[in-house]
Amino acid sequence: MLNIIFSRTFCVPAKTTILIKNVMYQLPLQLESLPPTPFYFYDLDLLNSTLDEVNRLIEGKPFWVHYAVKANSNLVILKNIVSKGFGADLVSGEEIEVALEAGFSPSRMMFAGVGKTDREINLGLVHDIACFNVESIPELQVIDELAQKAGKVARVAIRVNPDIDAHTHSYITTATADNKFGISIEMLPQVVEMAQSLPGIQLMGLHFHLGSQITLMEPYRMLCERINSLLDFFDGRNVHFKIIDVGGGLGVDYANPDANPIPSLEQFFDIFSTHLHLREGQQLHFELGRALVAQCGSLIARVVYVKENRNKKFVILDAGMTQLVRPALYQAHHLIQNLSAAHDSETDVYDVVGPICESSDVFGHNEQLPITHRGDIFAIRSAGAYGEVMASRYNMRALPQSVFYRS
């Protein structure tokens, strides 16, 4: 007997027997009794194993993980993450609100983002959140002003742009000198001095984030070296930081989600244990998003038509870039599986596309897939991060529901 929870408007009895139709695909879905497609399918067992692995690896270390809520802000996912003791990394007032609703403690909330509005800053102040990650001098001044007005002192960390290339897609590279994020390293002494002089500000630390879907460890090692020299520099000036926040960005294996359902968390934390020279009493914060939630989610869609043109065969799904924009926006490739096909069925080559009126609405070109028919069920894997949260209503399409599995 397995347990499945449906959210949004779809209602079925809370307990349903789910059979594993096709173990090759590792998705515990019973194809005969699916909710209407498309939908996001989340395996909470995998989510929880991933979270447990993080907790195992950071145990006994001064490491704190704040989940980057932007990766997936579905309440069921958030509640699981809260229950495992994680904090929250937030980038909007709305994210603060949803994090409160999910049960995150404000004392474990970090608020980042280059364009925090007065309303959002006040919301953070009212709830007395742990820290604002500040990205510019004007923002620092506004936080000081609003904190003083509210009779509070805002805890802040300064986001430093360390000028390190994370070797990932240019749209998700954040730490090179030309990106809009953070404060240039050469301006840092001046900004630190300013933060120390403002009555509404308590300077807590330094914040960094290299980018996203980072699969090499070398950029993180370089980050450790940058931070070590900054700490030496500030030690010399008698400035000490309680928090060092190294952001998130750890990548996942989009090509082989079943072989690598949990990312290289051990390697990732080891880099910091080995190369970063934390000072006595200093906390090291991480803001992992994708690494925690990507692999537990799949987008499930149905084949509307199989169509043949002069040069190509197309599989047209009832899900597209409105449900998962990553392929259209970042040329990302997610593993595509025909869940209805038998293991030994013959294959053919197809472009797998969505129904949206955009030529970029393609999940995969020249995919070798089992012979596919109208009505077949497809999974687009590793859709748990930046899938549901980036869904849009373009073409007036409804937002899909989410389905959760727990054994």
Distances (CA, A) of 387 to 107, 139, 153, 363: 28, 30, 37, 13
State in angstroms the smallest separation of the CB of 257 from ligand LLP.
15
Is the Cβ of residue 168 or residue 402 nearer to ligand LLP in the bound state? 168
Indicate the residue among 87 and 200 with the shorter CB distance to ligand LLP: 87
* Exposure class string for 122-145: b at 16+ Cβ within 10 A, else e: bbbbebebbbbbbbbeebbebbbe
Strand, coil or helix: 62: coil
Interacting residue with ligand LLP among 78, 102, 121, 172 (CB under 6 A): 172
**Contact positions with ligand LLP (CB under 6 A) in 42-81:** 68, 70-71
Q: Give the total of residues touching ligand LLP (CB under 6 A).
A: 23
Report residue 44 as tokens: 């909470």
Cβ 329 to ligand LLP shortest distance, Å: 7
Q: Which of 223, 252, 288, 380 binds ligand LLP (CB under 6 A)?
A: 288
Per-residue x/- track, 320-349, ligand LLP (CB under 6 A): ------x---x-------------------
Q: Give me the 100-129 binding string for ligand LLP, x by CB under 6 A, dash otherwise.
A: ------------x-----------------
Residue 71 or residue 183: which is nearer to ligand LLP going by CB? 71
DSSP 176: S
Q: Which is nearer to ligand LLP, 234 or 330 (CB)?
A: 330
| Ramachandran assignment for 145, one of left (phi > 0), alpha (psi -120 to 50 degrees), beta (any other) | alpha
Which is nearest to 340 in space by CA: 9, 55, 32? 32
CA distances from 36 to 199, 302, 318, 336, 390 (A): 56, 9, 10, 19, 20
Q: Which is nearer to ligand LLP, 330 or 394 (CB)?
A: 330
Our CB check for ligand LLP shows the closer of 94 and 232 to be: 94
One residue of 155, 290, 334, 397 binding ligand LLP per CB under 6 A: 290
Q: Which stretch binds ligand LLP (CB under 6 A): 16-24, 99-107, 275-283, 284-292?
A: 284-292
Alpha-carbon distance values, 39 to 91, 159, 187, 310, 401 (Å):
26, 37, 47, 32, 5
- Give yes or no for a contact between 144 and 201, defined as CB atoms under 8 angstroms apart: yes
Distance CA 264, CA 67 (A): 17
Q: What angle do CA 149, 150, 155 make, to 5 degrees?
A: 105
- Applying CB under 6 A, which part among 20-28, 56-64, 216-224, 289-297 lies near ligand LLP? 289-297
Q: By C-beta, is 65 or 102 nearer to ligand LLP?
A: 65
The residue to which tokens 């080995």 are assigned: 274
Q: Which is nearer to ligand LLP, 43 or 89 (CB)?
A: 89
CB of 49 to ligand LLP, least distance (A): 18
Is position 272 an interface residue for ligand LLP (rule: CB under 6 A)? no
Q: Which of 205, 248, 370, 384 binds ligand LLP (CB under 6 A)?
A: 248
Compare residues 187 and 332 and give the one whose CB is closer to ligand LLP.
332
Q: What's the burial of 17, exposed, middle or buried (CB within 10 Å: 0-12/13-18/19+)? A: exposed
For residue 289, state whether it binds ligand LLP (rule: CB under 6 A): yes
> Does 291 contact ligand LLP by CB under 6 A?
yes
Indicate the residue among 326 and 397 with the shorter CB distance to ligand LLP: 326
CA distances to 27, 86, 296, 299, 336 from 317, rounded to whole Å, are 19, 36, 21, 11, 11
Stretch in the footprint of ligand LLP (CB under 6 A) among 32-40, 205-213, 227-235, 339-347: 205-213
234 binds ligand LLP (CB under 6 A): no
Contact 374, 305 (CB under 8 A): yes
The interface region with ligand LLP, picked from 17-25, 288-296, 356-364, 371-379 by CB under 6 A, is: 288-296
- For 17: left if phi > 0, alpha if psi spans -120 to 50, otherwise beta; the answer is beta
Long-range CB contacts for residues 257-260, cutoff 8 Å, separation at least 24: 257/295, 257/335, 257/381, 257/382, 258/25, 258/26, 260/295
Q: Contact residues for ligand LLP (CB under 6 A)?
A: 68, 70-71, 89, 112, 172, 174, 209, 212-213, 247-250, 287-291, 326, 330, 385-386
